[in-house]
Amino acid sequence: MKTLVLLSDARHPVSGRPAPTATELQAINLARGLADEVSGLHAGPDAEAARGALGHGLARLEHREIPAGHDPLPSLLAAIGSEAPDLVLAGRRAGAGAQTGLLPYRLAEALGWPIVADAVALAVDGGVLEVIQALPKGARRRWRLRLPAVVTVHPAAPAAASFALGTARKGQVGAAIGIPAPLDEPAMEERPYRPRPRLIASAAAGAGAAERLRAATQAAGPGGRVMVDPSPEEAAQAILDHLRAIGVLKPASGR
């Protein structure tokens, strides 16, 4: 059983100092329940934050050096190809940068492996991985899948181990040049977050003060239409009409 934990070049959310991100450390913790020795993998310009994970139970760190702003995916794929892990674990999203949380999905797609998001517990039995997945409101779902697989870890997973200097000193770092992969997508614009004003329901726009207040303070009702025992065609049509009305689907082209 060989487990690889992906580590990002994370920053502490308050201090901004290089610090491994919590879900990645929790991933190390989960991986240590499956195997004694857990390796980490980081692709980026420097591994300062990822190196910190060595003190939290990681035995070995593989660093693939790529220029800042480059896509880490090709380097990660190459490293995973040579390491041949049974299981790749990742946090929910990186601890710095765009933090889209898409990398594990892109990785799983490129590897052709299944992916399960938001794991809180892992167990392996004869090449079959059992994942307990966290769902909203404390619900849990059990998945069984054949290895290899990619799994991301939820913050509700057991707490990560604290930093231990002794473990950090014993940890090994293997560094190699990664595969440069400049991102060709347009640079994203960054703006400070601005809360949007709430739209007052149009029905209340011209009404009296009491109605406008009610519209502004009350949650919108369920709305919609109740169809009792409709035919499948009718039901499908109603769903399509609704999706078109709210703009999820394009308006029906001339039919």
Partner 1 sequence: MNAALGLSLVIVALAVLAAVEGARTARRWRIGRSARVDWRTGLAAIPKRYLVDVHHVVARDPYAARMHALAAGGLIAGSVLAALGLMPPLGHAHLFWGAVALAFLVALAGGAMVGRRRYPAKPARLSGGAFQRLPLLLAAYVGGALLVALDAASGLAGPLGWLGLAVAAAGGFGLVRQLADGPMRHALAGALHLAAHPRPGRFEGERATALIPADLDAPRLGVAVPADFAWNRLLGFDACIQCGRCEVACPAFAAGQPLNPKKLIQDLAGSFKAEPPTYAGSPYPQAPPVAGLGGPERPIVGAGALIHPDTLWSCTTCRACVEECPMMIEHVDAIVDLRRFQTMELAAVPAGAIPALSESRYAEEPGGRPLAARTDFAAGLPLPLIAAKGSCDVLLWLGSGAYELRHGRTLRALVELLRKAGIDYAVLGPEERDCGDLARRLGDEATFADLARANIATLSRYSFRRILTADPHALHVLRNEYPAFDGRYEVIHHSAFLDELAADGRLALAAAPAGRLAYHDPCYLGRYNGETDAPRRLLDRLGLERVEMERHGKRAMCCGGGGGAPVSDVAGERRIPDLRMAQVRAVGATTVAVACPQCAAMLEGVTGDVAEVRDLAELVLAAVEAAPVAQGAAR
Given the rule CB under 8 A, which residues bind partner 1? 12, 14-15, 17, 19, 52, 55-57, 159-167
Residue 102's identity, in one-letter code, is L
Beta carbon nearer to partner 1, 20 or 44: 20
Least Å from the CB of residue 55 to partner 1: 8
| Assigned token pair, 239 | 């769903």
CA-CA-CA-CA torsion for 77, 82, 87, 91, nearest 10 degrees?
A: -40
Least Å from the CB of residue 25 to partner 1: 9
CA–CA dist 114, 32 (Å, integer): 21
Least Å from the CB of residue 13 to partner 1: 9
Which helix (H) or strand (E) element contains residue 152?
Answer: strand 149-153
Least Å from the CB of residue 19 to partner 1: 4
CA–CA dist 140, 51 (Å, integer): 32
Beta carbon nearer to partner 1, 169 or 191: 169
Least Å from the CB of residue 171 to partner 1: 13
Please name the residues in contact with 36: beta carbons below 8 A apart, sequence gap of 6 or more: none
Residue 70: DSSP 8-state: B
Do 83 and 62 meet the contact criterion of CB atoms below 8 Å apart? yes
Beta carbon nearer to partner 1, 159 or 177: 159
Beta carbon nearer to partner 1, 15 or 202: 15
Please name the residues in contact with 248: beta carbons below 8 A apart, sequence gap of 6 or more: none
Beta carbon nearer to partner 1, 172 or 218: 172
